[in-house]
Structure 1
Amino acid sequence: MFTADDVLALTFPTGNSFVSGYAVDAVDRWLGRVAETLRAYEGQPDGEPLMRAADARAVRFPERRGEASYEPMPVDDAIDMIAATLAMHEAAAQR
């Protein structure tokens, strides 16, 4: 299960000029929203629940090439783990 700090510490390999990857700026902004959501679940005063697990599963990023992109597979793996974390928080909140 990820914490807000874990999400903010994520790093991904950058893409190359030959293969499309996910736009760095879009991924980084999205991770900031994820961290803010997790802060709310963690009870931190600066957190706000901005997304649900379904939102994480549905996210799509613009494509880029080169240094302005992240390799898709590691980002997709992180999205899966983030969605699972959000689902666990949502289930706990419904109890």
Structure 2
Amino acid sequence: MLTADDVLAIRFSTGNLFVSGYAADAVDRWLERVVSTLRAYEGDPDGELLLRASDARAVRFTARRGTASYEPDEVDDAIDMIAVTLAMHEATAARSVG
């Protein structure tokens, strides 16, 4: 299971002019939301529940070429891990409520 700090430490390979990647700025903004959500689950008062596992599974990013893009397979792998982490937190929260 990933922590907020794990997500902050993720680095992706940048794209090039010949192959489309995911727009780095959009990915980075989304990861900020992931970090806030994980911080909330971790008990940080500055965290905020902004995303659910279903949001991670549904996220799509604009394609871009050049160094302002990230390698899609790496981002997709991170999204998969984030979705699993969020699902685990959601299940734990549901068990503690019910």
TM-score by length of 1: 0.99
* Residue matched to 1:19: 19
Give unpaired runs (5+ residues) of structure 1.
none
What's the CA shift string for 1:1-53, capped at 9, x where partnerless?
11001101110000110110000000000000000000000000100000000
Residue aligned with 2:22, SS: strand
Cα RMSD after superposing both structures:
0.4
* Residue matched to 2:51: 51
2:77 and 2:13 map into 1 onto residues whose CA distance is 13
* Residue matched to 2:77: 77
2:74 and 2:48 map into 1 onto residues whose CA distance is 26
2:47 and 2:35 map into 1 onto residues whose CA distance is 8
Amino acid at match of 2:84: A
- Percentage identity across paired residues of the two chains: 78
Give unpaired runs (5+ residues) of structure 2.
none
* Residue matched to 1:94: 94
Displacement of 1:84 after TM fit? 0.1
1:75 and 1:94 map into 2 onto residues whose CA distance is 28
1:24 and 1:51 map into 2 onto residues whose CA distance is 19
2:38 and 2:23 map into 1 onto residues whose CA distance is 23
Question: How many residues were matched structurally?
Answer: 95
2:44 and 2:21 map into 1 onto residues whose CA distance is 33
Structure 1 residue runs of 4 or more that deviate by more than 6 Å after TM superposition: none
